[in-house]
Amino acid sequence: MPRIGVVTDSTADFPGDARERLGIEMVPLSVNWDNDSFRDKVDLSIDDFYAMMRTRSTSPTTSAPAAGLFEETYTRMLGEVDHIISVHLGSTLSATFDVARAAAERVGNGRITLVDSATTTMCLGWLAMRAAEMGSEGAEPEQIAAELRSWVPRLRIFAVFDTLEYALRSGRIGRAQAFVGSLLNFKPILTLRDGEAFPVERPRTRAAAMRRLVDIVASQGEILKVGVLHGAALDIVPELDRLVRERMPNAHVDHGEISIVVGTHAGPGVFGLAMLAAE
């Protein structure tokens, strides 16, 4: 029997086939749009989602997974593993963590450890990957949870929004409200903090925003990992990758797409960098 199983949610973004290769379980959030409800990354692909965003006049909303989904996943896995590490979307960003914690208390019998990532997208994916890697190496659940929690304050995400329209609609605009009057004139760089989008800078062009994005991440100290992310902005990836490798040659670089749930708030054309700083 494998000793450690890992669960995350669908806002975690992974490089390539890492989730499948490491055997990480994913519980999907839901995207509700008009009269339709989609399970993130199950019923609706990322490409189809962003195409719909460009053509539909209405805005989707998102919701945490039902408690039953977590209970079913945990119960099944506990028949296969000794212990579960369940790491999720930041609790200030969604009710997902609280739903998972309540489900773990009902069915876990002390065999499920919850970790609040305080973040999302590839930063969350990296945490789940690290948990799976440590589990395969024989680490104890307490060691894995401690390692993940030591990563949390060192993980950051910076993103360039093509427009703030979608963040404004979703109510996730936060301190970036000050940018709203300049939607047509800037490509704002935002970061996540305490469940809100905070403004960092507002370059006037996409190219300038890309360069400043790399400058900002490179200024954060020694960087161990960088994730090059996009949502329906694949054309920026080669140049953004080049700039990252040029400025941070010692960092490991991953690529990924921004998930549907996060894309609901960011909109198509978003791109960004996830990062893990050294201790």
**Is the four-CA dihedral 40, 46, 51, 54 of positive or negative sign?**
positive
CATH number at 63 reads: 3.40.50.10170
Cβ proximity of 114 and 104 under 8 Å: yes
Indicate the number of domains in the chain. Answer: 2
Q: Pairing mode, if any, of strands 61-63 and 30-33? A: antiparallel
pLDDT at 174: 54
Is the domain of 70 the same as that of 60?
yes
Is the domain of 137 the same as that of 162?
no
Is the domain of 97 the same as that of 188?
no
Is the domain of 8 the same as that of 32?
yes
Cβ proximity of 14 and 92 under 8 Å: no
pLDDT tens by residue, the chain, 279 residues:
569 999 999 999 999 999 999 999 999 999 898 888 989 888 888 888 888 888 888 888 889 999 999 999 999 999 999 999 999 999 998 999 999 999 999 999 999 999 999 999 999 999 999 999 999 999 999 999 999 999 999 999 999 988 777 766 655 555 455 555 444 567 888 898 776 778 888 888 899 999 999 999 999 999 999 999 999 899 999 999 999 999 999 999 999 998 887 788 888 889 999 999 998
Match 């590839």 to its residue by tokens. 122
Where a domain ends, among 135, 152, 169?
152
pLDDT at 163: 74
Where a domain ends, among 136, 152, 168?
152
Domain ranges, residue 230: 154-277
Is residue 123 packed enough to be buried (19+ CB in 10 Å), middle (13-18) or exposed (0-12)? buried
pLDDT at 167: 67
Is the domain of 122 the same as that of 159?
no
DSSP labels for 56-99? Answer: -SS--EEEPPPHHHHHHHHHHHHTT-SEEEEEES-TTT-SHHHH
Is the domain of 268 the same as that of 236?
yes
The Cα angle at residue 177 between residues 209 and 161, in degrees rounded to 5: 30
Is the domain of 58 the same as that of 120?
yes
Is the domain of 28 the same as that of 17?
yes
